[in-house]
Amino acid sequence: MKQVPVQNIYYLLSYAWDKLDEAELTKAGIDDFEEIANLLGKVLANGCSFLFKRGLYRNYRQKEEEIPGIRGKLLINESISGLSFQNRKAWCQFDELSHNVLPNRILKSTVRRLLQMDEIENSLHLELKELYYRFSDVEEVLLELHHFTKVQIHRNNAFYGFLIQICRLIFESSALDESGQKYQFRDFTRDHQKLARLFEAFVFNFYRKEQDRYKVKSPSFSWPFKSTIEAHNELLPSMFTDIVLEDDERIIIIDTKFYSKTMARREDLGSISFKSPNMYQIFAYMQHIPNPKNKKIEGMLLYPDVGDTIHATYTLNKQILTFKTVDLDQEWKKIENELMDLLDLLQVNAV
């Protein structure tokens, strides 16, 4: 099976997360690394350096402290029990503008996690170590999944959205080793299910961003069967499409797949064929997708090229079904061109 270069994984992630602009700002030096842990570490280092140049995000944080005079809300009980008044001080609760907010705490804690990985190369380790100490007024947090969902991204901290995604990916791809002192990185690119979701999100956002011929959506719809018992109708599952391209005349349903072997092989018969479940699925979509304006329906099964380069087109009652692979083991510009040429191919098939 072909391996997807880590630099291309970076672009897949950038499209999947819809963070291309941020990815362009943080890609310097990623070509120097062949391991995904180092690539993500370098991207995080570049992103943190960018933040320090621009200024770390700050927000108001509630604080309780014994201070001279009064500020904010006076905490009478704490001040009396601590004998603060005798020392001309008082315990007060007040809001203070601080760098010690959740997004920065996640960044610092993720940098620390990377520093505890043997996979990180020496030069990058030194760079990350220097950045870690620059977060001097930020506390670490014992990372859990809910921390990432609590981060609020808005106009004033929009760049953090990309870096928090990087941090989450590092978090989900690493775990403490048996010693409990170091983290081991588990390369998610070896997990076909994760790569399948990544490939789907990439293709969807690529066409949404890079072309304006078609509207790009991912609709769901119900099976057309009906039961006389209303409660039974609720038992029918919905059909969820990956990618649908639609213009005034055509509806093109693209179903993405990611396998170590694209074709089904019958060793006993010495034959190969497309996988039946894939065909049943795309055929069901083509037959049942809502089409009130009677547009031309087309289907495509799109696979990464893992050694079986495929381009096959079939017709049935004026409907077109295409099987196509795209080679992810090539220069990124060629991948972009291949996907854009695919739209021209579909246009030719429609004529």
pLDDT in tens, 47-98: 999 999 999 999 888 878 887 988 888 888 888 888 888 888 988 887 888 8
Beta carbons of 264 and 276 less than 8 angstroms apart:
yes
Q: How far apart are CA 199 and CA 289, in angstroms?
A: 23
Cα separation, 314 vs 342, in Å, equals 16
Which helix or strand (DSSP H or E) is residue 284 part of? helix 276-288
Q: Is the pLDDT of residue 1 over 80?
A: no
Query: What is the CA 115 to chain-centroid distance, rounded?
Result: 23
Residue appearing with tokens 């402290």: 65
* Percentage above 70 pLDDT, the chain: 96
CA-to-CA distance for 291 and 32, rounded, in angstroms? 49
The amino acid at 308: D
User: Binning pLDDT at 50, 70 and 90, where does residue 120 land?
Assistant: very high
Q: What are phi and psi of 93, to 5 degrees?
A: -115, 125
Going by pLDDT thresholds of 50, 70 and 90, the confidence category of residue 349 is low
Q: If you search the block for the tokens 């190369």, which residue do you land on? A: 121
Q: What is the C-alpha end-to-end distance of the chain, expressed in Å?
A: 35
Class of domain 201-350: alpha beta
* Residue 333: φ, ψ to 5°: -60, -35
Nearest to 339 by CA among 222, 243, 247: 243
Task: Give start and end residues of each alpha helix (H) in 5-150.
Answer: 6-16, 20-25, 36-54, 76-81, 102-115, 122-134, 145-150
Residues of the chain with CATH 3.40.1350: 201-350
- Which range among 182-191, 254-263, 286-295, 304-313 has the greatest average pLDDT? 286-295
> Does residue 190 register a pLDDT over 90?
no
Q: Which of 321, 228, 339, 251 is nearest to 283 (CA)?
A: 321
Residue 297 has pLDDT above 80, yes or no: yes
Least confident of 44-48, 207-211, 343-347: 343-347
The DSSP bridge partners found for residue 113 are: none
pLDDT in tens, 208-263: 999 999 999 999 999 888 999 999 988 989 999 999 999 999 999 999 998 877 77
Phi-psi domain of 2 (left: phi exceeds 0; alpha: psi -120 through 50; beta: other):
beta
Q: Using CA atoms, how far apart are residues 192 and 221, in angstroms rounded to an integer?
A: 27
> Which string of b and e fits 76-113 if b means at least 16 CB within 10 Å?
eeebeeeebeeeebbbbebeeebbbbbbbbbbbbbbbb
As a whole number of angstroms, the distance between CA 51 and CA 237 comes to 46
Residues in the chain: 351
When pLDDT is cut at 50, 70 and 90, the band that residue 267 belongs to is low
Q: Are 339 and 203 in contact (CB under 8 A)?
A: yes
Confidence of residue 131 (pLDDT cuts 50, 70, 90): very high
